Amino acid sequence: MKTISNLKTANVTIKDVAKKAGVSVSTVSKVINGNYKVSEKTKRKVLKAIEELNYLPNFTARSLVLKKTQTIGVVLPDIHGEFFSEVIKGIDKKAREHGYHVLITSSHSDIKELDEVLFSLVNGRVDGLIIMNPTLKTSYVESRLLKKLPIVLLNCCADMLDADIILIDNFTGAYNLTKHLLKHGHRKIALITGPEDNTDSIERLRGYKTALIDSGIEPSQTLIFQGDFTEKSGYEAMKLITSLPERPTAVFALNDDMAIGAMMYAKKLGLKIPADMAIAGFDDIPMASYIHPSLTSVHVPIDKVGILAAEKLLNRIEGKSDAKFSKTTLETTLIVRESCGCL
C-alpha cells in the first residue's frame, strides 16, 4: 500500500483536492468523514488526490482506507489528580504495546458535555472507547454507544450485559477500613462522601454503614458530610466536622484527595493527627505514602485498572475476544499507615 511522504499541508485545501479529483468539495468531505455512500470509483479518485497533494497525514490517509485510526478514546470524569493520571498511565502503556495512540478527554460527569464528547469521538476518530463515568446509566449507553464501536466501561453501568465492565470492590474496601477503625476503639467516625449520584461514593457509603451496623452501631446522618472528591471539599467538610459539639475521634474520607484536604484543615486548627483525630482515605494514590503523617487508605490497583481496560478494548478491536462480554471486579486492600494511629 502506498504511503504519504514529504507532507506539505499548509497551502493545500479541500478545494485543491476536489479540483484534482474532478469532484465537488462536498464529495471530498463525504469521503473524509466516511459517513456517506460514495462510489468506489469516486472514493479512489479522492484518496489518490489526497495522497498526491499530501492533504492529510500518513495515519489519517491510511485510516480512510483501512477504516481504522489506530487510536482509542478515553473519557474520564476529570483528567486532574493522581488517580486519573495513574489510570491514564496504565492505558497508555498497554496501547503503545499494540501500536495505538490514546486520545484523552473529560466529561466532568455532565451528560450534555458527555454527549458532545462522544459525538466527536464516535464519529470516526477512534476505534474504541474506554469510559469512566460513575454517574452513567445503562439506558444512556444502550441508546448512544452500543453497536457503534467497541467500549469498555470503568466503574459504571454494573448491570450492563453487552459491554466489558471493570469494577472496583468499593463496598468491601470501605467496610474493611471502617471495621479497622472500630476495632481500634473509634465509635464516632465521621464520613466525607463523594457526589450523591456517583456509584463509587454510593458503594463506599454502603460499606461504611454496613460495618457500623454489623458492629451494633446505628449510622448517624449527623456524622455524614457531603464532598465532591476534591481536596477543597475535604477541607470544607472538616470545618463542619471539627465544629460538632461532640467531635468525632476519626474521619473517613471516601477518597484520598478529600482526606488530604481534611488533614490540612485539622493541622490549621492545631490538631495532632492521629493523637487528636484519626484520618483515613480511599484509593491509595502515590501521594498517600509521602505526606506527613502518611495516610491510611484503601489500596485500589489504579494502574491495573488502566492496563486491563486497554487490554480488553484492544482485544475487541483486533478481534481477539470471543463474543461473550465480561465483568471484572478488582479487589481492594487496606493499607495501614500513620494517620489512623493503629500501627
- Predicted confidence band of residue 63 (pLDDT cuts 50, 70, 90): low
**Structural domain count, the chain:** 3
- What is the pLDDT, as a whole number, of residue 117? 75
211 has a pLDDT exceeding 50 = yes
Q: Greater confidence, 272 or 7? A: 272
- What is the pLDDT, as a whole number, of residue 8? 47
Domain identity same for 163 and 310: yes
Pair type for strands 333-335 and 297-299: antiparallel
Mean pLDDT: which of 40-49, 130-139, 325-334 is highest? 325-334
Pair type for strands 101-106 and 151-154: unpaired
Mean pLDDT: which of 41-45, 96-100, 270-274 is highest? 270-274
Among 37-41, 190-194, 219-223, 336-340, name the one with the lowest average pLDDT. 37-41
Give the span between the Cα atoms of 204 and 250, in whole angstroms: 16
Domain identity same for 165 and 175: no
Mean pLDDT of all residues belonging to the chain = 86
Q: What is the CATH number of the domain that holds 31?
A: 1.10.260.40
- What is the pLDDT, as a whole number, of residue 159? 66
Domain identity same for 176 and 283: yes
- What is the pLDDT, as a whole number, of residue 67? 61
Q: For a pLDDT cut of 90, what percent of the chain falls above it?
A: 53
Q: Which of 66, 90, 107 marks a domain boundary?
A: 66
242 has a pLDDT exceeding 90 = yes
Domain identity same for 212 and 231: yes
Condensed to tens digits (0 to 9), the pLDDT of residues 161-175 reads 678 899 999 999 999
Among 23-32, 219-228, 289-298, name the one with the lowest average pLDDT. 23-32
Write out the three cell numbers for 137: 446509566
If you search the block for the grid coordinates 454494573, which residue do you land on?
158
- What is the pLDDT, as a whole number, of residue 140? 73
What single-letter DSSP state applies at residue 255? S
216: left (phi over 0), alpha (psi -120 to 50) or beta: left
Q: What is the CATH number of the domain that holds 250?
A: 3.40.50.2300
Note whether residue 316 is domain-resident: yes
Domain identity same for 36 and 81: no
DSSP characters over 158-203 = TT--SSEEEEE-HHHHHHHHHHHHHHTT---EEEE---TT-HHHHH
- Predicted confidence band of residue 303 (pLDDT cuts 50, 70, 90): confident
Domain identity same for 239 and 98: no
Domain identity same for 229 and 114: no
Q: Tell me the average pLDDT across 260-270.
A: 97
Give the span between the Cα atoms of 299 and 286, in whole angstroms: 10
Note whether residue 6 is domain-resident: no
Q: Domain of 146?
A: 71-169+302-332
Q: Tell me the average pLDDT across 253-275.
A: 97
Alpha-carbon distances of 22 from 49, 71, 300, rounded to whole Å: 9, 31, 58
Closest residue by Cα to residue 259 from 290, 296, 224? 296
- Predicted confidence band of residue 59 (pLDDT cuts 50, 70, 90): very low
> Around 302, how many Cα atoms within 13 Å sit in the side-chain half-sphere?
18
Alpha-carbon distances of 339 from 234, 273, 293, rounded to whole Å: 15, 6, 5
- What is the pLDDT, as a whole number, of residue 133? 81
- What is the pLDDT, as a whole number, of residue 77? 85
What single-letter DSSP state applies at residue 215? T
58 has a pLDDT exceeding 70 = no
Note whether residue 1 is domain-resident: no
- Predicted confidence band of residue 33 (pLDDT cuts 50, 70, 90): low
Q: Which of 66, 92, 109 marks a domain boundary?
A: 66
- Predicted confidence band of residue 147 (pLDDT cuts 50, 70, 90): low
Q: Tell me the average pLDDT across 243-270.
A: 97
Domain identity same for 313 and 199: no
10 has a pLDDT exceeding 80 = no
The pTM assigned to this predicted structure is 0.77
Give the span between the Cα atoms of 71 and 99, in whole angstroms: 9
Note whether residue 8 is domain-resident: no
Confirm if 104 and 76 have CB atoms less than 8 A apart: yes
DSSP characters over 229-241 = SSHHHHHHHHHHH
Q: CA dihedral in degrees (9, 12, 14, 19; nearest 10)?
A: -140
Write out the three cell numbers for 222: 449527623
Q: Tell me the average pLDDT across 264-279.
A: 97
Write out the three cell numbers for 17: 483536492
- Predicted confidence band of residue 179 (pLDDT cuts 50, 70, 90): very high
Where helices occur in 184-326 by DSSP H, the ranges are: 199-214, 231-242, 256-268, 302-317
Domain identity same for 136 and 278: no
Domain identity same for 179 and 231: yes
Alpha-carbon distances of 298 from 50, 133, 173, 284, rounded to whole Å: 53, 20, 6, 6
Domain identity same for 183 and 276: yes
Q: Which residues of 219-254 are buried (b: 16+ CB within 10 A; e: fewer)?
A: beeebebebbbbbebbbbbbeebbeeeeebbbbbbb
Closest residue by Cα to residue 163 from 179, 176, 147, 177? 147
Q: Greater confidence, 45 or 65? A: 45
Closest residue by Cα to residue 55 from 15, 103, 101? 15
Domain identity same for 237 and 280: yes
